[in-house]
Structure 1
Amino acid sequence: MTAMTQLKQYLLALILLLVALPARAQEGEGIRFFKGTFEEALKEAKKQGKPLFVDFYATWCGPCKKMEKTIFTQPQVGKLFNEKFVSLQMDAEKPENVETAKKYKVDAFPTLGFIDTEGKAIAINVGFMNADELIEMARTAVGELISFEDLYQQHRKSPNDLTIQQELLTQAPRFLTTQDGMDAEKWVVRVRKLYRSYIAEKMKDNSLINRKDYMIISSLGGDDADETAKIVEYINANLDAWIAAVGEPAAYYVIEKNDDRMEELVKKGDARYKDYLEKIRTDYKKAYDVIKFKQVTPYQKSVDYFGALYAIYKDKDVPRYMDMMGKYLSGLGEDALPGDYGKAAQSLYYAAGGKLKEADHKQAIAWLEKAIPAEPVLMNKINYLVMVGDSYKELKNYAEAKKYYNQAYAESLQMASMEQAQQMIQASVVYKLSTLELLQQ
């Protein structure tokens, strides 16, 4: 065999290998998404006799992008979805998709919908899901796992079976999103009653300390203050076991609920917030120790923040508030988030808006201008822009006020899938702009 013949055979083998590679790669690919409109995808789903899976996303949504890159691309996800569903990705804020998004109550992102061939929602989930959660939801949607309503019938037959109750409560948040009107109210009452009895029963022998039950507490707890307080004490009393089971989120649950309680009290001008403040360095110290700030301790941070709120809500003491809030933000330093600056200005407006001096408005503007560029939540960003506009209006700088109101209106155009909220915001901004015109005449 000549060298030329060997080279030709080698090149032929290489070509055949390259041709074969896409077929092998396809076996391990992620979800193949249908290219077309919602109506076309639903028609294709009906033709194939499969449910429709829809990833309702927004172009600015970080968790949406993360799911697209890290979850939808996983081979085990692709294998199930490509076999069992017609799948569609839909930018819910495009004008042509807004009505469809409204039909399926899409008002946050990502929203993941499983829809039958007649267009009825089988299950809807709001928020990021990992691969296991998405696969479980998909298998339930196609009947490979028992449905919520069938599980509820099992519960009625075996009312003391905690395994059935756990599965019911795990599925409940997704199921409730598919319910309307009286059906929704009926199921909410049932779920709340079951949740309370389930938590109380599992606290008795510490069998509550596991990841699945933590997710149940996180998604269904919090409606009742006394009930939440009991769970906080229970988690805190068993914090080492909880952290071993679910990690630091258990500690953050204690922190979040304690902070919520303090904020509720200071806004009422109730000095008992100091009892909960003291828990940061006593009862809840181990929980708060998971927070690592570069310049300040969690206790000192809370002393400054809640002390500032108390000064303005209880005594309307703006100078003291400004001093303590400045100390709070300075103490946070690099750890300060957009929301920290935004809340500093927001509390100032809410508690003492009519008593603010020129210097107070200028300080509020400075805080908000630090918050706006990095604020990830659209509604918060719009709110901050409007607040800056309001301060400039009070300072009689109408040109700057108009600029910020117009920017707020422009940002609201991204809320096409949240029509009611969008209309309220735009109506408010238009009113503010018309008021400016009158003031300038």
Structure 2
Amino acid sequence: MRYIKYVTFVVVALLSIAIGSAQEATGIRFFKGSFAEAQAEAQRQGKPLFVDFYATWCVPCKKMEKTIFTQPEVGAFFNAKFINLQLDAEAPENVEIAKKYKIEAFPTLGIIASDGKAIQINVGFMKADELLEMAKTAVGEVKGFDDLYKEYRAHPNDLKIQQELLTMAPRFLTTQDGMDAEKWVVRVRKIYKEYLSKKMADGSLINKKDYLIISNLGGDDADEVARVVEYINAHLDEWIAAVGEPAAYYVIEKNDERMLELVKKGDESYKTYLEKIRTDYKKAYDVIKFKKVTPYQKSVDYYGALYAIYKSKDVARYIQLMSSYLDGLGEDANAADYGIAAQSLYNAAGNKLTPADHKQAIAWLQKAIPSETVLMNKINFLVMAGDSYRELKDYKQAREYYNQAYGESLLMGDAEQAQQMIQASVVYKLSTLELLEK
């Protein structure tokens, strides 16, 4: 009986190993070793590198690892065509490599020639079909940017070629450096402007591909952005049918950005764009649902508060309107709303704040801190609260908030450079408290 049980156990264990190996084999097999070792292996096999630049704290990175890299079709292609490597971009031994390829956000997915030259760089989460398209383009199974640009030069009025070229442009531009980057940015901007004009004229702009092109390449030219906003707003029902509510949020985002820019300059013309919320852009803003307040009234209070403090440093008026704004949001107010209220107070008024102003900032921050989920924001809010308590000469409370900020920084994982900068700043603030207390 014991023998049978032992054999059964061994069979089950072997089956588990076999199943695990089979599952592993269906996805991408990643090289075990350093970047230099992977590059040497790529040179030996005559293949490019696929590098998953990740950070240990990055949630989309983990999602890609579990849901995209494990797919059989993805694994089959990448295992055949590339040497695949996962690289913790914030680990000390990889920092210089990350700098070389301008890794500033995660996930960043790079296809790199065996000689080290970047072929394709993509920032952000990618679906399986997007990842495969990127890979197939890199190995020449799908037309690359250079090929499409040649086709564009031969057929400058072919909108289909322009659409493919502009769709691929953001990834291509991330691989360019110095003068080459500047040259290609100018070329892409010129094509983009011409493309927009033609597609607006013939009414063929309203589709998902063109919306992504606008989202990725629009934004440098204020007049051009305004033109796109007006076009989307004028055809909002068709845009929403084609791409969903993001079309409405595009109008909202750009209008809000314009108001914010103007109020920070103390320019009263922001009210022109404020009025559009209940007139021209009402249908777009109607996608925002608050329990107690309308988007218009919310914006009246919020931008009115910012205008008061940036234009005339009227802190009392700012606090009155910002409090009205937060009260109007009610249950819809989140940590960011309270944190930004305090941050704007510091940014615009600075050393002109009275003890009562600091107490108000602390009250807002105390509502923001418990529910803030973004670690860097939470640390920032804690430090701001500590600063206000220091100004109030409540050094005990200031020390508690600084110490809590330092404690939160310990959770930053392998983001060592940022962690060290934050900790050095907090230690300095703590040391100044000792001098102030003497």
TM over 0.5: yes
Cα deviation digits, residues 226-276 of structure 1 (max 9, x gap) = 110000000000111111111111000000001111111222222222221
Match of 1:49 among 46, 49, 72: 46
TM-score (norm 2): 0.88
Is 1:328 matched up with 2:313? Answer: no
Amino acid at match of 2:199: K
Cα distance, 1:315 vs. partner? 3.0
Point out the more displaced range, 18-27 or 137-146. Answer: 18-27
Change (3 A) 1:30 1:374: farther
* Corresponding position of 2:334: 337
Identical aligned pairs, as a percentage?
75
Cα distance, 1:213 vs. partner? 0.9
1:309 aligned counterpart, secondary structure: helix
Cα distance, 1:428 vs. partner? 5.4
Amino acid at match of 1:351: A
Amino acid at match of 1:77: V
Cα distance, 1:376 vs. partner? 4.9
Cα distance, 1:26 vs. partner? 4.1
Task: Map 1:72-221; keep pairs closer than 5 Å.
Answer: 72-221=69-218
Task: Map 1:14-413; keep pairs closer than 5 Å.
Answer: 18=15, 22=19, 25-26=22-23, 29-377=26-374, 379-405=376-402
Amino acid at match of 1:40: E
Change (3 A) 1:310 1:45: same
Cα distance, 1:345 vs. partner? 0.9
What is the rounded CA distance, in whole Å, between the counterparts of 1:47 and 1:438 in structure 2? Answer: 62
2:110 aligned counterpart, secondary structure: strand
What is the rounded CA distance, in whole Å, between the counterparts of 1:80 and 1:124 in structure 2? Answer: 18
What is the rounded CA distance, in whole Å, between the counterparts of 1:142 and 1:411 in structure 2? Answer: 44
What is the rounded CA distance, in whole Å, between the counterparts of 1:417 and 1:167 in structure 2? Answer: 37
What is the rounded CA distance, in whole Å, between the counterparts of 1:415 and 1:175 in structure 2? Answer: 31
Cα deviation digits, residues 110-147 of structure 1 (max 9, x gap) = 11111111222111111122222211111111111122
Please tell me whether the aligned partners of residues 107 and 418 of structure 1 are also in contact (alpha carbons under 8 angstroms): no
1:328 aligned counterpart, secondary structure: helix
Number of residue pairs matched? 432
Please tell me whether the aligned partners of residues 42 and 119 of structure 1 are also in contact (alpha carbons under 8 angstroms): yes
Please tell me whether the aligned partners of residues 26 and 75 of structure 2 are also in contact (alpha carbons under 8 angstroms): yes
Cα distance, 1:416 vs. partner? 6.7
Cα distance, 1:156 vs. partner? 1.6
2:119 aligned counterpart, secondary structure: strand
What is the rounded CA distance, in whole Å, between the counterparts of 1:332 and 1:434 in structure 2? Answer: 39
Please tell me whether the aligned partners of residues 55 and 414 of structure 2 are also in contact (alpha carbons under 8 angstroms): no
What is the rounded CA distance, in whole Å, between the counterparts of 2:228 and 2:324 in structure 1? Answer: 33
Task: Map 1:424-435; keep pairs closer than 5 Å.
Answer: 432-433=429-430, 435=432
Point out the more displaced range, 132-141 or 409-418. Answer: 409-418
Cα distance, 1:67 vs. partner? 1.9
Cα distance, 1:288 vs. partner? 0.9
What is the rounded CA distance, in whole Å, between the counterparts of 2:405 and 2:138 in structure 1? Answer: 40
What is the rounded CA distance, in whole Å, between the counterparts of 2:334 and 2:43 in structure 1? Answer: 48
Change (3 A) 1:403 1:141: farther
Point out the more displaced range, 333-342 or 116-125. Answer: 333-342
Change (3 A) 1:114 1:434: same
Cα distance, 1:189 vs. partner? 1.2
Change (3 A) 1:191 1:232: same
Please tell me whether the aligned partners of residues 54 and 112 of structure 1 are also in contact (alpha carbons under 8 angstroms): yes
Point out the more displaced range, 151-160 or 70-79. Answer: 70-79
Please tell me whether the aligned partners of residues 60 and 125 of structure 2 are also in contact (alpha carbons under 8 angstroms): yes
Please tell me whether the aligned partners of residues 92 and 417 of structure 1 are also in contact (alpha carbons under 8 angstroms): no
2:175 aligned counterpart, secondary structure: coil
What is the rounded CA distance, in whole Å, between the counterparts of 2:390 and 2:12 in structure 1? Answer: 70
Please tell me whether the aligned partners of residues 55 and 113 of structure 1 are also in contact (alpha carbons under 8 angstroms): yes
1:112 aligned counterpart, secondary structure: strand
Cα distance, 1:21 vs. partner? 6.9
What is the rounded CA distance, in whole Å, between the counterparts of 2:416 and 2:139 in structure 1? Answer: 29
Change (3 A) 1:195 1:405: farther
* Corresponding position of 1:3: none
Cα deviation digits, residues 270-312 of structure 1 (max 9, x gap) = 2222221121121111111111222222122112211211222
Change (3 A) 1:161 1:405: farther
What is the rounded CA distance, in whole Å, between the counterparts of 2:223 and 2:83 in structure 1? Answer: 46
Q: What root-mean-square deviation, in Å, do the aligned CA atoms of Structure 1 and Structure 2 show?
A: 3.1
Change (3 A) 1:24 1:405: closer
Amino acid at match of 2:52: D
TM-score (norm 1): 0.88
Cα distance, 1:375 vs. partner? 4.0
Change (3 A) 1:84 1:326: same
Structure 1 runs not aligned, ≥5 long: 1-6
What is the rounded CA distance, in whole Å, between the counterparts of 2:408 and 2:153 in structure 1? Answer: 49
Change (3 A) 1:249 1:436: same
What is the rounded CA distance, in whole Å, between the counterparts of 2:405 and 2:282 in structure 1? Answer: 41
Point out the more displaced range, 29-38 or 251-260. Answer: 29-38
Amino acid at match of 1:345: A
Point out the more displaced range, 427-436 or 278-287. Answer: 427-436
Cα distance, 1:208 vs. partner? 1.0
